[in-house]
Amino acid sequence: MGGKVVKLKWYGHASFLITADNGLKIITDPYEPGGYDGAIGYGEIPDTPDIVLCSHDHADHGYTKGLKGEFEVVNKSGVTVVKGIEFKGVEAYHDTEEGQQRGTIIIYTFAIDGVNICHLGDLGHEIDDALAEKIGDVDVLLIPVGGMFTINGNVADRVIEKINPKIVIPMHYKTDKCGFPLARIEEFIDRKRNVSLMATDEIAITKETLPKNQMIMLLDHAL
């Protein structure tokens, strides 16, 4: 595999470990194991991050107390530069009523070794052209598809069409470790032909090997 390699591991829910070619580690939306009366069944995050991104402060997305080591937290909109990486945070809503039900969230877009990654957090609504423009160019899109607290699969389809990434990685859906009443992944991938079952919890990506045609990659949860 030529070029610098970015590794992306799905812990579960909306939490990922993104590892740069130089070993720098970013964790997104860490959850509280056992939180919400056991609804969060994913295990304790074992890795030591350098940077942690939190889309909002709910216990299944902003539980930094359970993480090991010393790290910097990014949890705001605007541009934040940490360890040479520029994180662009764009405010959006956790619901369809401009935040009146569940408040706001932060969408993060950032480049690691030439690969543009976007984490949509608990996005709760469709996006318009203005928001898509703020998000910018995306190679890898981490998108919630489970509905209930976020967009569902049908809305996710339209969000994907707006953003037009090379790789789509679904998150925040019902699994054997998630007790929330979310939709299962089958409801999102049904009748789609560009789906790849990766049979692993981690993928390696380089800018040079990004697919020409959009792919949906399903990861196993690591924890």
CA 214 to chain centroid, in Å, comes to 17
70 contact partners, CB below 8 Å, separation of at least 6: none
Count Cβ atoms within 10 A of the Cβ of residue 74 and give its class: 0-12 exposed, 13-18 middle, 19 or more buried.
buried
pLDDT along the chain (223 residues), means of 10: 90 98 98 96 98 90 95 98 98 76 89 98 96 98 96 98 99 97 97 96 98 98 98
DSSP 89-134: EEEEESSSSTTTTT-EEEEEEEEETTEEEEE-TT--S---HHHHHH
Q: Which domains does the chain have, with CATH numbers?
A: 6-218 (3.60.15.10)
Eight-class DSSP state of 138: -
pLDDT of residue 2: 66
**Could you give the CA distance from residue 31 to residue 47 in angstroms, rounded to a whole number?**
13
pLDDT of residue 97: 76
